[in-house]
Amino acid sequence: MKRMKSYDVPHKGLRNALSQMQLLAGKTDYANQNEVEQLYKLGQDVFKILTIHATDENEITLAELEERCTGCSQHDMEDHEQIHLTQDKLEKFLANIYNNSKAGQNVIEDGEEFYLAFSEFYGTYLEHTAEEERVTQPMLWKYFTDEELASHRGKIMAKNPPQTLLIWFRFVIPAQSHKERVGLLTGFKKMAPEPFFNEGMQVIRQVLTEREFDELDKALA
């Protein structure tokens, strides 16, 4: 029987977010204040969901794994610490670039350095997530039933404020197939109050093509 994949939904979203960030960091004209601001704003959202995701993994998935298998969470926890340190530097660097650009300073060289440093971070992060799916996921399957794995996801959803879910939607929903989107959002429609469901759909409308959104909307009706 096909088992539940704990990482599938968030990791597809994170890979989409990171790729958007990498692309924008490359095509930004660092002499243009508006373009630097766009990059800074995207960075704020991307770094935010990266931090939330690592915290969710540490506090729920890995904490529960550690309870059943001592030492099994250590490798990923250490990875998260390393990633956090690099990410923190990048976040501060980007904030600096943004502030200096706003103050009228020349940030072209810093922008070029940010692009390169981000690509190193991106590479590390991709390896980390692939390892979680190849190594940690089989451990999770060994120690938990699919119901328990689903309950981890439920706990993660419950601990984050609703507005965080909307940031996730921007990156997760376009990264899924139509069938996967329908599956996720059918659950969301059942659980969410109608105004929040509609707010979610407005966010999603902006990140799908017109055709993708119409198909989704029809399937959810």
Could you list the residues that contact Fe ion (CB under 5 A)? 57
Least gap, CB of 62 to Fe ion (angstroms): 8
Question: Hey, what are 206's tokens?
Answer: 């902006």
Least gap, CB of 86 to Fe ion (angstroms): 13
- 164 sits in the region (left: phi over 0; alpha: psi -120 to 50; else beta) called alpha
Question: Hey, what are 147's tokens?
Answer: 């119901």
Of all residues in the shown chain, the one whose CB is closest to Fe ion is: 57
Least gap, CB of 114 to Fe ion (angstroms): 23
Least gap, CB of 91 to Fe ion (angstroms): 17
CB nearer to Fe ion: pick between 57 and 64? 57
Q: Residue 53: which of 84, 22, 88 has the closest Cα?
A: 84
57: CB partners within 8 A, 6+ apart:
76, 80, 132
Q: What is the CA radius of gyration of the chain?
A: 19
Task: Please state the three-class secondary structure of 128-183 as a single string.
Answer: HHHHHHHHHHHHHHHHCCHHHHHHHHHHHHHHCCHHHHHHHHHHHHHHCCHHHHHH
CB nearer to Fe ion: pick between 116 and 130? 130
CB nearer to Fe ion: pick between 53 and 181? 53
Least gap, CB of 183 to Fe ion (angstroms): 23
CB nearer to Fe ion: pick between 57 and 110? 57
CB nearer to Fe ion: pick between 79 and 110? 79
